[in-house]
Structure 1
Amino acid sequence: MGTGKPVIAGRTAVVTGAGNGLGRAIAVRLAYEGARVVLTGRDKSKLQSVGDEIGEMARIEVVDASSPKSVTELAAALNDEDVSILVNNAGIAGPVAPLWEVEPEQWDEVFATNVRGTYLMCRAFLPSMIDRGRGDVINLASVSGKRPLARRTPYTASKMAVIGLTATLAHEVGPFGVNVNTLSPGPVAGPRMTRNFTLEAQRQGISVEAAEHEFVSRSALQRMVTENEVALAVVAMLRMPGLCGADIDLSAGMVGR
C-alpha cells in the first residue's frame, strides 16, 4: 500500500526571493494549496505586494539569504512557526561576459546569492525538520547548469553547484524523513527573457521576434516554460513522497537526456 498523497494544506513554507518572478508564482500557488507561506526577500515593498495578493495566508520577512546574520535572525523570528517546506528560489543572473572579463567580485556575488544563500537557508531550517522527522526542501537550479551557455560562467557554475549540494544533502537528511530535491527550470517566459531577446536581436541585426524564434526552436515543445508551470512543478514534487535527491528538468524539452 502507498503512503497516500502528502498534504500541503496546513503546512508552513518559506520561499526565498518571493517578491517577484518565480518566487511570487511559487508562493501564490502554495497558498492556493492551503499552505501558510513566509515570503522572504530583500525588498519589503515587493514582498508586501505579493502578501496583499495572497492575503492572510502570508507572512512577510525581509532577509538577505546570502548573509549569515540575516538568515540567523530569520530563523529566530520564525521560531513560532512549524516550517516544514523550504523553497530556495533566491538567485541572481550575474554578468554577461567571457570568463576572463568577469571580475572576482562579480563571481563572488553570484555564488553568495545562488549557492551560499541556499546553504545558509538549509543550515538554518534543517535541524528543526530533522527533530520533527519531516520536511521538504526544493532548491531551484537551472538547466543552464547542465548545458553550455556562453558568457554566463558564474551563473551556470553556481547552478551546477546547487545540484551537487542537493544530491549530497539528500543523503545526509533523508534518513531523518526529510526530502531534498532540485528543480531545474529552462528559460521562463517573462521580462528577463524579453530583455535577452532584445539584446540578441541588436547583436545579430535581426528582429526581436526572430531572436525569440531562433531560441525556442531548440526546445521539443518549441516554447519556453511559464512561471505558473514552475509553481505547479513545485507542488507536484511536494506530493511525491518517494522523491529525494532528484533533479527535475522543466524545460519544454530544452534539455533532453
Structure 2
Amino acid sequence: MRAAEDVVGGRTALVTGAGNGLGRAIALALAGHGARVVLVGRQEDPLRQTAALIGPTARIATCDVADPASVQALADGLAGEEISIVVNNAGIAGPVADLTEVQPHEWDEVFAVNVRGTYLVCRAFLPPMLARGAGDVVNIASVSGKRPLPGRTPYTASKMAVLGLTTTLAHEVGPAGVMVNSVSPGPVAGDRMTRNFAREAQRTGTSPAQAEEQFVARAALRRMVTAEEVATATVAVLCMPGLCGADIDLSAGMVAR
C-alpha cells in the first residue's frame, strides 16, 4: 500500500457533509496527509468550524446535494479547481419506525439525500476526472445496507442503493482510470447514534442504554467504531492500487446478515 502523503498530497478533495461527524473527520484526515479540501454542506457555520481546524488551505461551499441546481452551482463554482477526490459522505438517518408507520415524505427525504445526492455529485464531478483519465470516488455507505435493521427501512434501503451505485459505477468509469469504492461503517459513536438509540428506546419501550447494548452485541469487538477510524479507512482506500468497485466493511465485526 502506498504512503498516504504520496497518494493524496497536493490533490484537491471534495467532502460532502463536512460540517460535523464523519465528514469532518474525513476532511481532517485528508488535509492531514496534504490534500487541499473543499468542505461541502448545507450550513455555513459548521463548515467554518471544520475549516478552522484545518487552516487556510480549506475551502467551504454550501450546497444541498439533493438539489440538482444546487449541485450544478457547486460544480460551476469549482470549475477552476482540479477535483480529483470526491467523498460522498452527506447522509441522513431518517425515521425510526416500522415501515407501515413511515410517511412517504420521510422515505423520499432519505433517498433524496443518501442516494440522489450521491448520484448528483458523481454526475457533476466525474466528467473532468474522465477527461483526465484519473480520479477517485469514495462513497460512504453503511453496514446497515447489508443486514437487517428493524425500524430503519428507509435508511437501510438507501445504503443498499449506494452499494449498488458504487459497484456499477466502478465498471462504467474504471476503464477510463477512475476508481470508485465505498466504505461501510458500522455504528459510529457520536451524537447521531445517541439520538438513534433514544428513538429506538422510545419505539421499543426500553432504555437508550439497552438499545445501544443490543445494537452493538452483534459486533465482534462489542463496541461502535469511531469517526477517526472511518476517516483512516477512507484514506486507506485511496492508497490501495487496483481497488475498484470494492466495499470496505469497517464495523468492529458487525454481523452483516
TM-score range, shorter chain: over 0.9
Evaluate the alpha carbon distance shift between residue 173 and residue 125 of structure 1 in structure 2; reply closer, same or farther with a 3 A threshold.
Answer: same
> Which residue is 2:148 aligned to?
148
* Displacement of 1:215: 2.5
Matches within 5 A, 1:126-165: 126-165=126-165
In the other structure, the counterpart of 1:45 is 45
* Counterpart residue number, 2:167: 167
Who is 1:75 aligned against?
75
Q: Kindly provide the amino acid, as one letter, of the partner of residue 78 in structure 1.
A: L
Which whole-Å CA distance do the structure 1 matches of 2:179 and 2:9 have between them? 18
1:206 positional shift: 5.4
Matched residue of 1:7: which SS?
Answer: helix
- Cross-structure match for 1:241: 241
Change (3 A) 1:25 1:233: same
Q: CA deviation at 1:207?
A: 5.0
Shift of residue 12 of structure 1? Answer: 0.2
Mapped to 1, the partners of 2:253 and 2:90 lie a distance apart of 24
Higher mean displacement: 214-223 or 174-183: 214-223
- The count of aligned residue pairs is 256
- Give the AA of the match of 2:114: N
Provide the aligned C-alpha RMSD in A.
1.8
Per the normalisation by structure 1, the TM-score is 0.94
Match of 1:196 in 2: 196
Task: Tell me the distance in 2 between the aligned counterparts of 1:62 and 1:3.
Answer: 33
What is the 5 A alignment of 1:1-257? 7-201=7-201, 208-256=208-256
Q: Distance in 2 between matches of 1:223 and 1:4?
A: 29
- SS of 2:8's equivalent? coil
Question: Structure 1 pair 93/208, CA: closer, same or farther in 2 (3 Å)?
Answer: closer
Relative distance call for 1:211 and 1:105 in structure 2 (3 A) is closer
Aligned-partner Cα distance in 1 for 2:26–2:181: 15
Q: What letter matches 1:24 in structure 2?
A: R
TM-score by length of 2: 0.94
**Aligned equivalents of 1:66, 1:29: Cα separation in 2:** 25
Structure 1 pair 210–245 and aligned structure 2 pair: CA distance change class (3 A) = same
| Conserved 8 A contact 1:249-1:255 | no
In 2, the alpha carbon distance for the partners of 1:188 and 1:26 equals 13
Q: 1:102 Cα shift?
A: 1.5
Amino acid at match of 1:35: A
Write out per-residue CA displacement over residues 232-251 of structure 1, whole angstroms, 9 at most, x where no aligned residue: 00010000121000011100
Partner Cα distance (1:256, 1:93) in 2:
19
Q: Deviations over 1:79-101 (max 9, x none)?
A: 11110000000001111111122
Retained in 1: the 8 A contact 2:3–2:239? no
- Whether contact under 8 Å (1:40, 1:47) holds in the other structure is yes
CA contact under 8 A between 1:12 and 1:81: conserved in structure 2? yes
- Percent of aligned positions that are identical: 68
